Amino acid sequence: MNIKIILEGKIKEPYFKSGVEEFKKRLLNKVEVLEVSDIFEFLKNKSGAYIITLEIEGKMLSSIEFARKLREIETSGEANEILFLIGGAEGLSKEVRDLSDFKFSMSKLTFLHQEATFILIEQIYRAHKILNNEPYHK
């Protein structure tokens, strides 16, 4: 299944950028990271996607639960891709949050959008390893 991380803004810091690139490479470029200026405008051309918004009020999952959630979405056949949406400095707009199929929180802490992108792609990689019974997750 196609997975895209859509973030409002750019990954400016080289250490986040190189970390994201490393996990994209490990995932054999099966995960795209797109930097957009307006997520709502981007979504106007999307249909058939399962939308996961990253929100502080969202549901927190363990790494194993997160892996199961991705598998559940994949096997349901309801979507042709998964879109993870990460807001910029102001967070996600209400109109974007209203489009969410699943509200996900990685922590009660607030992260920079570029930091959240790095953490998320690492968790997607970890989920991939968990689902394939490969060593990485401990």
Q: What is the pLDDT of residue 137?
A: 61
Residue 75, annotated ligand binder? no
Residue 1, annotated ligand binder? no
Q: What is the pLDDT of residue 1?
A: 86
Cα–Cα distance for residue pair 111/116, rounded to 1 Å: 6
Residue 24, annotated ligand binder? no
* Residue 81 contacts residue 3 (beta carbons within 8 Å): yes
Residue 58, annotated ligand binder? no
* Residue 119 contacts residue 111 (beta carbons within 8 Å): yes
Residue 111, annotated ligand binder? yes
Q: What is the pLDDT of residues 31-81, one digit of tens each?
A: 999 999 999 999 998 889 999 999 999 999 999 999 999 999 999 998 999
In the chain, what are the domain boundaries? Answer: 2-57+72-131
pTM reported for the whole predicted model: 0.95
Q: What is the pLDDT of residues 78-100, one digit of tens each?
A: 899 999 999 999 999 999 999 99
Residue 66, annotated ligand binder? no
Q: What is the pLDDT of residue 124?
A: 98
Contacts of 51 (CB under 8 A, 6+ apart): 43, 83, 85, 99, 100, 101, 102
The CATH number of 2-57+72-131, from 1.10.275.10, 3.40.50.300, 3.40.1280.10, 1.10.3720.10, is 3.40.1280.10
